[in-house]
Structures are given as structure tokens and as C-alpha cells.
Amino acid sequence: MNIVFVSHAEKGPSGGAKIIYHHSEIINNLENFSSEVLHLKKKRLSKLKISLKKRLKLDHRDDTGWQLDQVMPVKKFKYKWFNHKIKSRNYFDFDQNKDFVILPEIFAHLAEDLLIKKEINYAIFAQNGYVINSTNNEDKLKKAYNQAKFILSYSNDITKCIHSKFPKLKTRIIKISYALDLKKFNLKNKKNLITYMSRKLPVHSNLVINYLKPQLPRNWSIKDLNNLTETQTYKMLKKSKIFLSFSSFEGLPLPPAEAALAGNFVIGAQFITVKIGETKICKTHLFYLGVILFKKKTYGMKLVVMMKILKLMVKI
């Protein structure tokens, strides 16, 4: 059997794509199984049409989300910011007897036109429960989830979102785990370093960092890990003591999990739902791990609470 993972083709780092790559690599090492990754991008003409409609402020009632006639397989695309050994695929022509397709939740609504009509077996990989409404076409979305052989989830939060949206599909959900190489993490030579990724909630992260810097002791520093390679990111996470997780509406984002495994205190922003129990890191840590969550109603209060937590932690 050949497992085909569908993914987007973004230029920058993507935790979701990295997880897909790792699963595909593991499957390729199994006997009687193979795996490929099919990357999608929007056609240039589709981008132009959408751009013109926005500029001209045309009143249109098209289905939201990428549609099959708007996308195309990307040839020779592979992420370069981390090491991998995946096999890529650059065509849509699936084999009913051989291929099993796994769609990410952001492309779940493509199932009807891409797979169901051609009787291709498939599953949905829900990596973020807050974006499972991938289109405003409810009929197409329900059909996609109802006819999926199973739905993959790797956190309790994601599973709860699926339950809420599709309460009759509870038995179809399969819980899986991250594919992380623990050998890449060690907890030695920690420094007074705070790390974060500015691509997540950039306005929020910029405010916190700007307010925090003047109040840090001289022997502490801050490092932005945005757009670093996997090797560079791991190198910094191994050194840092605190990781600030600026993220909203994600079931179990990858960066804070990796940071915790590398021995960092992880301070989560509002809406984040990372838990030590879900990542199963409490049995492997040597350095003290902590996930501090807070939920405040106002933006200002959220900044104040994060600042107070940081001040306490840099004194440890």
C-alpha cells in the first residue's frame, strides 16, 4: 500500500508539514508500505482572479477555501529548512488498488472532487481543530468527513473540536503522536536565554519583547528563532531556559512541545492548550519543565501576566 500525504507548499517553516514529513519517512521504513508527499499550490491565474476581486471589491458568493480547479501539484518541491528523506509526488492520478490518501484538515473539502468521485480511499489528518471549517460549503465539508475512513488527531484539544463539529464521528477518530527524534534533544549547558518565534502572533510577540528587554537582568538575553533551520533551532532550544509560545487557536503546536523536550520552561499565550501530559514529556525530563497557562479577558492583562511570570522565572 502507498500512503500519499497531501501538504501545502509554503516557503517558510511549517510545523504541520514537518510532522507530515516525519510520518511519511516512518511509513517508508515499514515492510510492504511506501509513502509519498504531494504538495499543492494555487495556480497563478487563480491567484490573479482572487486578487482582482478583492481590489475591485466585487460581491461574489464563491465557496471559500482552495478549490480543486484552483490548485495544482508542485513539481520538485521539498522543504529545505530541516533534514528529511521523503519521496515526493507531482501528480493527482491515484490508483484505487494501491494508493491511500491522507488530506490535512485545511484541504478536507477537496475530498469530493479529488477522491470520492474517483472512489479513492482516504483519511483526514486534523492538525488544528480550529481550522476544520476549511470551506463555507457545509455539504461538501460534511461529505468529506463522513466518507473518510478515519480521522487522525494528535491532541485532546483537536479531538474535542472534531467532536463538537461532527458529533456522530466519534468512533472514526484515531489518536496518534508526534514523530520526534528525542536523540536531538539534550538538557546540558543551559544559559540565561529566552527564545521565541516572532512569526506567531507578531504584534503580540513584538509588544512583549519590547516591554521585557529593559527589565531583564544583564546576564539574560532574548533570541528570535524565526526562519532558522531545524538544526539552528534545536541548537538554540538546547541552550535556552525559557521559551515564549506566541500562538492562538492551535490544538498542540510543535514548537512549544520541542522546546519543553529540550528542557525549557514554556510560557503559553492565551488560547494555547499545550499540556505536559499530552506530549508525554514528564517521564523523560531531567531539567525542570513547566507549562504556564493563563486566560485573561483583556489584551493588556495578558501582557502584564506574561511579564510577571517572566520576571519570576529569570530569578530562578
Residues 32 and 1 sit within 8 Å (Cβ to Cβ):
yes
State which of 56-70, 117-131, 280-294 shows the largest mean pLDDT. 117-131
Q: Note whether 152 and 200 are same-domain residues.
A: no
Q: Note whether 171 and 219 are same-domain residues.
A: no
Q: Note whether 215 and 124 are same-domain residues.
A: no
Q: Note whether 112 and 6 are same-domain residues.
A: yes
pLDDT in tens, 46-82: 666 666 666 666 656 578 888 888 899 998 888 888 8
The reported pLDDT for the residue numbered 38 is: 95
Total number of domains constituting the chain: 2
Q: Note whether 287 and 159 are same-domain residues.
A: no
Name the CA dihedral angle for 179, 254, 150, 21, rounded to a multiple of 10 degrees. Answer: -50
The residue out of 175, 190, 208 marking a domain boundary is 175
Q: Note whether 227 and 171 are same-domain residues.
A: no
The reported pLDDT for the residue numbered 265 is: 85
The CATH number that applies at residue 309 is 3.40.50.2000
Q: Note whether 59 and 154 are same-domain residues.
A: yes
Mean pLDDT of 7-33: 88
Q: Compute the chain's Rg from CA coordinates.
A: 21
The reported pLDDT for the residue numbered 291 is: 33
Q: Note whether 89 and 216 are same-domain residues.
A: no
The residue out of 175, 200, 218 marking a domain boundary is 175
The reported pLDDT for the residue numbered 209 is: 87
Q: Note whether 9 and 57 are same-domain residues.
A: yes
- What residues contact residue 100 under an 8 Å CB cut-off, 6+ apart? 1, 2, 3, 4, 121, 122, 123, 149
The reported pLDDT for the residue numbered 89 is: 94
What is the average pLDDT score of the chain? 80
Q: Note whether 138 and 230 are same-domain residues.
A: no
The CATH number that applies at residue 66 is 3.40.50
The residue out of 144, 175, 206 marking a domain boundary is 175
Domain of 216, in residue numbers? 182-313
Residues 270 and 294 sit within 8 Å (Cβ to Cβ):
yes
User: CA angle, 91 as apex, 87 and 94 as ends, to 5°?
Assistant: 90
Q: Note whether 267 and 144 are same-domain residues.
A: no
Give me the count of residues in the chain. Answer: 316
Q: Note whether 49 and 150 are same-domain residues.
A: yes
State which of 82-96, 204-218, 235-249 shows the largest mean pLDDT. 82-96
Which of residues 253 and 39 earns the better pLDDT score? 39
Q: Facing residues of 5 across strands? A: 37, 102
The reported pLDDT for the residue numbered 299 is: 37
* DSSP 8-state code for residue 131: G
